[in-house]
Amino acid sequence: MSVFTGQLGRELRLAARSRSDVLNPLVFLLLAITLFALALDGKPEVLREHAAGILWVLVLLTNMLALDGMFRRDFDDGSLEQLLLAVDAVPFAMLAKLLVQWLVTGLIIVLLSPLLGMVLNLPAAVLGTLALVLLAGTPAVSFIGAIGAALTTGARRGGALLALLVLPLLIPVLIFGVSAINRALADEPPRAELYWLGALSVTSLMLSPFATQAGLKIALEQ
């Protein structure tokens, strides 16, 4: 457990000290939503109709930006190698990294979601469900995405490659997430979708530390 808490503390401190790394993707999210509102002529009913799709696609893209640098700094300064060599409970350290990755993107998106919903003209009654849907779905995005981030850490190019690897795997999250918000807009409780998103998040939390470790080991061998 000390591996986990130690790593958690380190990652949180690092996140707090590199504020622009955390904030830039979120500013991108706000900017992109503004672009959508402008591109769709700001028509309230059009925005509401497409809000679920716009929001989820942008959440996925924001996560791609946030995930891109997830291991790069640790890889460059050698601390990643030290971590994989020194600690015998590497999956726990990975778990801490994954959780912090979600805290600084997914959770902040959840907290921002009422604002995002209002920009997209969602009715106030849906905003609670929107936050809940994002809370259930974004962990899966971070955890599955981290596998891609680990695999591309040693690759010659990051960005687009990461998105190419990860986005197809995130299609179920997109489908259930969009469907949940649309169901809420139709005044139905989106229970099945929430269960699915939760199941995807928990399952990926379970498997991702091992896959991430394997990916990073390969990156370090090069």
Partner 1 sequence: MGILKTLWHRLGSPRWFFHMMAPWQTWLGGLALLLLLTGSFWGLVYAPQDYQQSHSFRIIYVHVPTVIVAQSVYMALGVSGFVLLVWRMKLADVALKAMVPFGMAMTALGLFTGAVWGRPTWGTWWEWTDARLISTLILLFLYFGLYALRESIASAEAAGRACAVLAIVGLVNIPIIKYSVEWWTTLHQGETLSMTGIKMPAEMYIPLLINILGMYCLFGYVVIARMRNEILRRERETNWVAAWLRGDGRTGMESMSEH
Residues interacting with partner 1, by CB under 8 A? 144, 147, 151-152, 154-157, 161, 164-165, 167-169, 171-172, 175-176, 179, 196, 200, 207, 211, 214-215, 218-219, 221-222
Residue 145, CA atoms < 13 Å, CB-side half-sphere: 35
Q: Which of 180, 99, 97 has the alpha carbon at shortest distance from 136?
A: 180
Q: Select 23 or 218, whichever has its Cβ closest to partner 1.
A: 218
Q: Select 45 or 168, whichever has its Cβ closest to partner 1.
A: 168
Q: Can you tell me the distance from the alpha carbon of 14 to that of 36, in angstroms, rounded to the nearest whole number?
A: 33
Q: Select 37 or 219, whichever has its Cβ closest to partner 1.
A: 219
Q: Select 77 or 188, whichever has its Cβ closest to partner 1.
A: 188
**Minimum distance from CB of 113 to partner 1 (Å)?**
22
**Minimum distance from CB of 174 to partner 1 (Å)?**
8
**DSSP 8-state secondary structure symbol assigned to residue 190:** -
For the record, the structure tokens of 37 come out as: 């509102």
**Minimum distance from CB of 192 to partner 1 (Å)?**
9
Q: Can you tell me the distance from the alpha carbon of 52 to that of 31, in angstroms, rounded to the nearest whole number?
A: 17
> What is the DSSP track for 59-125?
HHHHHHHHHHTTTHHHHHTSHHHHHHHH-S-HHHHHHHHHHHHHIIIIIHHHHHHHHHHHHTT--HH
SS3 label, residue 154: coil
**Minimum distance from CB of 208 to partner 1 (Å)?**
9
With contact defined as beta carbons under 8 Å apart, do 108 and 23 qualify? no
Q: Select 22 or 167, whichever has its Cβ closest to partner 1.
A: 167
Q: Select 147 or 194, whichever has its Cβ closest to partner 1.
A: 147
Cα of 204 vs its chain's centroid, Å: 12
**Minimum distance from CB of 73 to partner 1 (Å)?**
20
Q: Can you tell me the distance from the alpha carbon of 208 to that of 145, in angstroms, rounded to the nearest whole number?
A: 9
**Minimum distance from CB of 97 to partner 1 (Å)?**
17
